[in-house]
Chains A and B, each alone.
Chain A
């Protein structure tokens, strides 16, 4: 339904203008699970995200419509307000102008005219690569660290204050440290992603380990399982839901941070692209970038939610 952004916005705007205002108001809580990725996946979010999952027949058309129509109405409302406020011209482009700009951008997403002029596809891929590297390193360090903190109380007491202290630090504060240590922009951006996306994984994994039910550990004891079997057969599956929540939050953070970091470090990347277009005063491209950033973030979120559901187990 997000792809509807790129469909004819004028038609949708007209449809919404006719819709009574209370219908639009009702859409707000419906779309809440999607706009707040940290929220626990409620039944609404779960089913809205299901997509090509296991087919349940018969298809609940009525339920689908009840979910989809308000979402479309909300989107239409946004476009309508946007179109109305930009009607008189000014620096802010109209939806139609933005759509045209997007059309041109997506017509050729993978061109290269030198290092500072590349297609939007390359920019997104460059950002994703940085996020992948920074986040991957964070997972490699953060998840085992979380396991250790969860398993050993002393370590927990040792590290917890540090985590509490470092967690709220803005990503931009870490960037100079990265530049100082690595003396290069790209590793500094990756470092910033790493340090900002590691905390949710550490904390959630640690909590997950601490919350493994005593029953399971008793089973491990009476079965006399080896440490390896305890780790792989009991701890890991029991912690998995927590761990994946941490991963999900981390990826979200990483994707938030990358735009800010790239604005400062430059190079190829969606964040730098936004800054570049601002310098060119091409606001339509900035708006397109905002939609693209949102869309990619949503895709990352959905992928991880789908992954998390595979690991859900009810007791």
Chain B
């Protein structure tokens, strides 16, 4: 099967006041259509940098990124991004926030009513149709993050890019949103790349876990295929997973990588 996203020999070097800083080097990774890939690593390892490269927010200093055989140059509506801090515009309602994205992608070809329909459908998908007229400050952190997901999905992107989307939420809310995300993936068959620092989240949600070595000059250390049926076929049940051998095996593999092979050395600059 042909990969949807192809990252080839990508490196990222930032020019800083104290000279060049190599954040990433020699990243080669392929993501298949419908795959759920988690990027995990210690903080400062450049996993967000890698996601930003795919999002097009930054341009790699080496290598090339291809999405459906076309080189990625800058951000585009074919990749929906969900930010960690939700980044909703506070002066727009939930519907308005989603509509802003929808208008940009479909505004040229579709009428107002249809655009609104799309935005509402996206809100409905995340279970927030009832909060359409609420403003971000009126809803909880978990709801904001769901609106962020709705905004990304409403553009009908080829890929959903998520940067620690549930990192700022409490454990119970996070679990509920993970369950919901699995349902959405099962319903839409979305291709997802998610940055996380949560081992359980990575194993529960993804088909493959890409583990990055410690920065600077981080690269892919190991790629672990989760020995479970893909989420897009059926959402996984977190209670069953608690003693599922495949789940435990994958979890052990990631822990092994993070805490033995890449035992965190406190960097001088966080």
A residues 293-315 near B (Cβ < 8 Å) are 311, 313-315
Cβ A224 vs Cβ B77 within 8 A? yes
Cβ A223 vs Cβ B87 within 8 A? no
Residue tally, chain B, CB below 8 Å to A: 24
Q: Is B137 an interface residue (CB 8 A)?
A: yes
Q: Is B10 an interface residue (CB 8 A)?
A: no
Q: Is B85 an interface residue (CB 8 A)?
A: yes
Q: Is A225 an interface residue (CB 8 A)?
A: yes
A residues 202-229 near B (Cβ < 8 Å) are 215-216, 218-219, 221-226, 229
Q: Is B106 an interface residue (CB 8 A)?
A: no
Whether A216 contacts B89 in the complex (CB less than 8 A), given A223-B100, A229-B104, comes out as yes
Q: Is A234 an interface residue (CB 8 A)?
A: yes
Q: Is B53 an interface residue (CB 8 A)?
A: no
Cβ B83 vs Cβ A218 within 8 A? yes
Q: Is A237 an interface residue (CB 8 A)?
A: yes
Chain B interface secondary structure, helix, strand, loop or mixed? loop
Cβ B89 vs Cβ A234 within 8 A? yes
Chain A interface secondary structure, helix, strand, loop or mixed? helix
Q: Please indicate the chain A residues that have their CB under 8 angstroms from the CB of B100 in the complex.
A: 223, 225, 229, 233
Looking at the assembled complex, report how far the CB atom of A89 sits from the nearest CB atom of chain B, in whole angstroms.
60
A226 to B100, CA, bound (A): 11
Q: Please indicate the chain A residues that have their CB under 8 angstroms from the CB of B74 in the complex.
A: 221
- Residue among A219, A225, A240, A311 making CB contact with B87, cutoff 8 Å: A219
Cβ B101 vs Cβ A215 within 8 A? no
Cβ A218 vs Cβ B104 within 8 A? no
Q: Please indicate the chain A residues that have their CB under 8 angstroms from the CB of B136 in the complex.
A: 315
Cβ B89 vs Cβ A219 within 8 A? yes
A231 to B37, CA, bound (A): 35
In the complex, the chain A residue whose C-beta lies closest to that of B137 is: A314
Looking at the assembled complex, report how far the CB atom of B108 sits from the nearest CB atom of chain A, in whole angstroms.
11
Q: Is B76 an interface residue (CB 8 A)?
A: yes
Looking at the assembled complex, report how far the CB atom of A10 sits from the nearest CB atom of chain B, in whole angstroms.
50
Cβ A313 vs Cβ B91 within 8 A? yes
Looking at the assembled complex, report how far the CB atom of B11 sits from the nearest CB atom of chain A, in whole angstroms.
22
- Residue among B79, B85, B137 making CB contact with A222, cutoff 8 Å: B79
Residue tally, chain A, CB below 8 Å to B: 20
Q: Please indicate the chain A residues that have their CB under 8 angstroms from the CB of B31 in the complex.
A: none
Q: Is B216 an interface residue (CB 8 A)?
A: no
A223 to B104, CA, bound (A): 7
- Residue among B79, B80, B87 making CB contact with A218, cutoff 8 Å: B87
- Residue among B76, B87, B135 making CB contact with A224, cutoff 8 Å: B76
Chain B 89-115 against A: per-residue CB contact (8 Å), 1 yes, 0 no? 111100000001100100000000000
Q: Is B44 an interface residue (CB 8 A)?
A: no
In the complex, the chain B residue whose C-beta lies closest to that of A313 is: B90
Q: Please indicate the chain B residues that have their CB under 8 angstroms from the CB of A224 in the complex.
A: 75-77, 104
A97 to B100, CA, bound (A): 63
Whether A225 contacts B104 in the complex (CB less than 8 A), given A313-B135, A314-B137, comes out as yes
A251 to B83, CA, bound (A): 40
Looking at the assembled complex, report how far the CB atom of A208 sits from the nearest CB atom of chain B, in whole angstroms.
13
Q: Please indicate the chain A residues that have their CB under 8 angstroms from the CB of B50 in the complex.
A: none
Chain B 55-88 against A: per-residue CB contact (8 Å), 1 yes, 0 no? 1110000000000000000111101110101010
Q: Please indicate the chain B residues that have their CB under 8 angstroms from the CB of A218 in the complex.
A: 57, 81, 83, 87
In the complex, the chain A residue whose C-beta lies closest to that of B157 is: A222
Chain B 168-204 against A: per-residue CB contact (8 Å), 1 yes, 0 no? 0000000000000000000000000000000000000
Cβ A314 vs Cβ B75 within 8 A? no
Cβ A222 vs Cβ B89 within 8 A? no
Looking at the assembled complex, report how far the CB atom of A177 sits from the nearest CB atom of chain B, in whole angstroms.
41
Interchain residue pairs A-B with the least CB separation, the first 3: A237-B91, A313-B90, A314-B137
Other 6 A-B pairs with CB < 8 A, given A219-B87, A221-B57, A315-B137: A221-B75, A222-B79, A224-B76, A311-B91, A314-B90, A314-B137
A interface with B by C-beta (< 8 Å) = 215-216, 218-219, 221-226, 229, 233-234, 237-238, 240, 311, 313-315
15 example contacts (A-B, Cβ-Cβ < 8 A) are as follows: A216-B87, A218-B83, A218-B87, A219-B89, A222-B80, A222-B81, A223-B101, A224-B76, A225-B100, A229-B104, A237-B89, A313-B91, A313-B135, A313-B137, A314-B137
B interface with A by C-beta (< 8 Å) = 55-57, 74-77, 79-81, 83, 85, 87, 89-92, 100-101, 104, 135-137, 155
